[in-house]
Amino acid sequence: MDELLPDGAAGDRPRLLAEETPGDNAPAQTVSELSGALKRQVEDAFGHVRVRGEISGFKRHSSGHCYLSLKDERACIDGVIWKGQAAAMRFRPEDGIEVIATGKLTTYPGRSKYQIVIDRMELAGQGALMALLDQRRRMLAAEGLFDESRKRPLPFMPRIIGVVTSPTGAVIRDILHRLEDRCPTHVILWPVAVQGEGAAAQVARAVRGFGALPGDGPVPRPDLLIVGRGGGSIEDLWAFNEEEVVRAIAESPIPVISAVGHETDTTLADFVADRRAPTPTAAAEMAVPVRAELAHHVRELGGRAERLALRYRERAGERYAAIADRFPALDSLFAGQQQRLDDIADRLPRALQQRITHADRDLARAAGPLRRTLLDRKWERASERLEAVRLSSRPIVTKIEQGRGALDALWRIAEQLHPDKPLARGYVRVEKRGGGVLAGADEARAAGLLTLHFADGAVDARVENGAKPAYAKPRTPEEDAARQRDLF
C-alpha cells in the first residue's frame, strides 16, 4: 500500500484503509462500547449528588415516570423520576418551583446526553414552599373553588357529625369533650393520618367516603363534617394544602368545617371549606348550639307566648264587653214574643177540646147512613146493574170474522191488479231505456231504445223506424174490453 503513495506519504499520513500498527495504544471502539464506558465513568464519579435548581418542563408520562429539567441562571440538566419514587414524593412537582433533587448522574446513550436520576426531591427552603403554596392557591381560586357563593350554611342541629382526623391525637378528644358540654351528638370518626406520606390521599378518601354513604345504609350519613388536626409547621400541615384534599372538600355534598392547626395557621382547606374554625374546639362550638341556652330560649319563648295569649284574651274580653253593652237586654228583646207564647199556650187546650167535641158530633151524624144493611143493599143493586150491562163476546167475534173475509177479498183483487201479474201469462211491459212505462207505439218509436220486462227478466230492444209487425191488426173496443175482463 505504501508503494502506491508518493514519497514521504507513509507514517502518520491519512490512509485509505484502517490498519492496526505495532505499538498503537488506542484501538478502535464501537459507539456502544464508548457510550458504556462513559456511562460507567459518570455513574462511578457522580453516584450520589444533590442539585438545586428550578423545575422546568415537568411532564408525567402515562407509564408513571416523570421527566423534567433543573435550571439556574447559566445552565440546565435533564432529570427523570421513576414511577416508584414519583409515587412516594411529598408534593407534586410544578414548573417554577425551586427544589433540591437528590440522586445520581447517568448517561442516556440513545441521545448522547447525561441526566440525573432523582431518588428524592425537596423544596429548597421555606420560600420555595410558600411560592408553591401561593401558586396552587391562585390556580384553585381561578377555578372558583374559594368563592363565597359556594359556601353552604351549616345545619342548626346536626343529628350526626363526621370527623376526619387522627384517632390518637388530641383533636378528637377536644371535639368530643366540647360536644358533650354543649349538646351531646352522635359522632362518627374516620381515622386518617394527618401528616406524612399518604396523608393527603387518606383525608381526601375519607371526605369522599362520608359523602358516598347512603341515607338509609347501615352506617348513617353525617349531616356535618369536621376535617381537622392540631397545630404544627407548614410542613406538618402540608397534607391539607394538597390539591386532592381541596377538591374532595369542594365536591363534598355534606357541609364541611375546616379546623386545621391553630388560629394563626392557614391552609387551602380553610379557603374551600364552608366554614373555617381557628381550632378543633371552636369547630365543635360551631357545629352545635348550647343545649342549656336552647332550653332557656325555649322557656323564654313559652313565657312570651303565654303572656301574649293572656293579653289577647284580656283584650278580647274588653271588646266583647264593649260590644255587649250596645245590645238591649234579652228580656226586652223577647218580651212580646214570650207574652204571645203564653197566650197561645193558654188557648191551645180549650181549642183542642172544642175540636174534639165537634168531631164527635160529625161522627155521630155520619154513622146513621153507614149501617151494614144499607151498604149490603147498595152492593146488591150495583151488582145487578153490572150484570145487566155485561156484553157477550159472540157478536164481537162474528164482526171480526166478517171483516177478515172482506179484507181477504180485497187483497186478492189487489194481487190481480198488480202490474207484473199479467207478465206471467205472456204479456210484456214496455219501458224507455232510462225508465218510464210506454203506453203507445208512437211513444215507443220516439223513444227508440226500449226495455221489455218479461216474467222471468228484462230484455233491451231497439225500434226500427216505420216497421210494424206483420201479424198486428187493430182490435175493436169490444175485443179490448173482453181481453181486459180476462185479466180477472
Element (H, E) at 403: helix 394-416
Are 116 and 220 contained in the same domain? no
Sheet holding 449-454: strands in order across? 429-432, 449-454, 457-462
Element (H, E) at 76: strand 76-81
3-state secondary structure of 234: coil
- Tell me, what's the pLDDT at 52? 86
C-alpha cell at 35: 457510550
Neighbour tally for 205: CB within 10 Å: 17
3-state secondary structure of 216: coil
The count of structural domains within the chain is: 3
- Tell me, what's the pLDDT at 5? 46
Are 276 and 168 contained in the same domain? yes
- Tell me, what's the pLDDT at 3? 46
Are 173 and 110 contained in the same domain? no
Q: Could you say which of 232, 267, 289 is where a domain stops?
A: 289
306: amino acid identity, one letter: E
- Tell me, what's the pLDDT at 8? 46
Report the C-alpha gap between 267 and 239 in whole angstroms. Answer: 9
Report the C-alpha gap between 162 and 31 in whole angstroms. Answer: 64
3-state secondary structure of 167: coil
Sheet holding 224-229: strands in order across? 186-191, 160-165, 224-229, 256-260, 275-276
Are 253 and 174 contained in the same domain? yes
The answer to whether residue 20 is domain-embedded is no
Q: Could you say which of 106, 123, 140 is where a domain stops?
A: 123
Are 212 and 270 contained in the same domain? yes
- Tell me, what's the pLDDT at 207? 94
pTM, rounded to two decimals? 0.47
Report the C-alpha gap between 446 and 466 in whole angstroms. Answer: 11
The answer to whether residue 384 is domain-embedded is no
Are 99 and 185 contained in the same domain? no
Residue in this structure with the C-alpha cell 169490444, named with its chain if needed: 478
Are 169 and 244 contained in the same domain? yes
DSSP bridge partners of 384: none
Cα angle 331-334-338, degrees, rounded to a multiple of 5: 105
> How far, rounded to the nearest angstrom, does the alpha carbon of residue 25 sit from its chain's CA centroid?
86
DSSP bridge partners of 107: 114
Are 169 and 262 contained in the same domain? yes
- Tell me, what's the pLDDT at 474? 56
Enumerate residues 6+ apart whose C-beta is below 8 A from 247: 145, 204
- The backbone torsions φ and ψ at residue 482, rounded to the nearest 5 degrees and listed phi first, read -65, -45
Neighbour tally for 38: CB within 10 Å: 15
The answer to whether residue 319 is domain-embedded is no
Are 281 and 173 contained in the same domain? yes
The number of C-alpha atoms within 13 Å of 404 and in the hemisphere containing its C-beta is 6
Q: For residue range 330-363, what is the model confidence (pLDDT) as tens digits? A: 676 777 788 888 888 888 888 888 888 888 888 7
Neighbour tally for 56: CB within 10 Å: 13
The answer to whether residue 37 is domain-embedded is yes
Are 62 and 167 contained in the same domain? no
The answer to whether residue 447 is domain-embedded is yes
Report the C-alpha gap between 300 and 278 in whole angstroms. Answer: 32
The answer to whether residue 325 is domain-embedded is no
pLDDT 10s per residue in the chain (488 long)?
A: 444 444 444 455 666 666 666 666 666 778 888 888 888 888 888 888 888 888 888 888 888 889 998 888 888 888 999 888 887 777 778 787 788 889 888 888 777 788 889 988 877 766 667 777 788 888 888 999 999 998 999 998 899 999 999 998 889 999 999 988 888 889 999 999 998 878 899 999 999 999 999 888 888 999 999 999 988 877 788 889 888 999 999 999 999 999 998 888 888 999 999 999 988 999 999 999 888 778 888 888 888 998 899 899 989 988 888 887 777 776 767 777 888 888 888 888 888 888 888 888 887 777 666 666 777 788 888 887 777 766 566 777 788 888 888 888 888 787 777 777 777 777 888 888 877 787 788 888 888 888 888 878 888 888 886 545 544 455 565 655 555 554 44
Q: For residue range 464-486, what is the model confidence (pLDDT) as tens digits? A: 865 455 444 555 656 555 555 54
- Tell me, what's the pLDDT at 472? 47
Are 183 and 83 contained in the same domain? no
CATH of the domain at 98: 2.40.50.140
Catalogue the E-assigned strands of 255-412: 256-260, 275-276
- Tell me, what's the pLDDT at 204? 94
Report the chain's C-alpha Rg in angstroms.
65
CATH of the domain at 270: 3.40.50.10550
The answer to whether residue 423 is domain-embedded is yes
- Tell me, what's the pLDDT at 210? 93
Note down the domain range covering 214.
Answer: 158-289
Q: How many separate helices (H) and strands (E) can be counted in the chain?
A: 14, 13
327: amino acid identity, one letter: F
Residue of 202, 175, 178 whose CA lies nearest to 191: 202
Enumerate residues 6+ apart whose C-beta is below 8 A from 214: 221
- Tell me, what's the pLDDT at 475? 58
The answer to whether residue 13 is domain-embedded is no
Are 162 and 259 contained in the same domain? yes
Q: Could you say which of 270, 289, 308 is where a domain stops?
A: 289
